[in-house]
Amino acid sequence: MNVFTEITLNHYLALSGLLFMIGLAGVMIRRSILVIYMCLELMLNAANLALVAFNRFHVKPGGIHDYDGQIMVFMIITVAAAEVAVGLALIVSLYRLRQTTNVNDLNALKF
């Protein structure tokens, strides 16, 4: 079977991995805090994708479908939402203090 004709678990995992890497690269490289934040979200959603894919392709013995992975995704989405709320509040107050969103300027966390 051809990779390009049938969609298997591996395709989803590859996509998920790719998204994760892009998000990671963004966190490591981008200068604006908001963009870093968005890349963080990207990483989270990549994990979500992986979870859903696993869930979809996983069949318990006895033919029963379970939905544990999708439930986990719900959890993650909820947590991500909460985290965004808190994080954006922090970024806003940080901007008010420092007048910048350039990560290179926020370097006080050192000895």
Partner 1 sequence: MNWIVLLPPLIAAALITLFLRPLKKLSVLVSIGACAISLGGALAIFFADGEAKLSTLSWASLPGLEITIGAMGDPLASMMLLVVTGVGLLIHIFAYGYMKEDPGLSRFFAKLSLFMFSMLGIVLADNLVMMFIFWELVGLSSYLLIGFWFERPSAAEAAKKAFIVNRIGDFGFLLGILGTWAIFGSIHFEELKNSVAATGLPAGVSVGVITLVTFGLFMGCMGKSAQLPLHVWLPDAMEGPTPVSALIHAATMVAAGVYMLCRVFFILDLSAYTMEIIMWIGAATSLFAALIALQQNDIKRILAYSTLSQLGYMVMAVGCSATTEAMFHLTTHAFFKALLFLAAGSVIHGLHHEQDIWKMGNLKKYMPITFVTFLIGTLALTGFPGLSGFFSKESILFAAYHHNKVVFALGLFTALLTAFYMTRLFVVAFLGKERTEDVHHAHESPKVMTIPLILLAILAVIGGFIGIDRYIGPHAISHDSGGYGLVMGLSIASFLIGTGLAWRLYGNVTKEPYSFAILKNKFYSDEVYEAFLVKPQQALARFLAWFDYWVVGGLFVRLSCLSAAGAGEVLRLMQGGSLQAYVVVFILGVALLCYWILVKVAL
User: Footprint of partner 1 on this chain (CB under 8 A)?
Assistant: 24, 27-29, 103-104, 106-111
Closer by beta carbon to partner 1, 59 or else 90: 90
Nearer to partner 1, 36 or 51 (CB): 36
Residue 5 or 104 with smaller CB distance to partner 1: 104
- Least distance (Å) between residue 7 CB and partner 1: 25
Helix axes 68-98, 33-57, angle to 10 degrees: 180
CB of 94 to partner 1, least distance (A): 12
Give min distance, CB of 24 to partner 1, in A.
7
Q: What are phi and psi of 59, to 5 degrees?
A: -120, 130
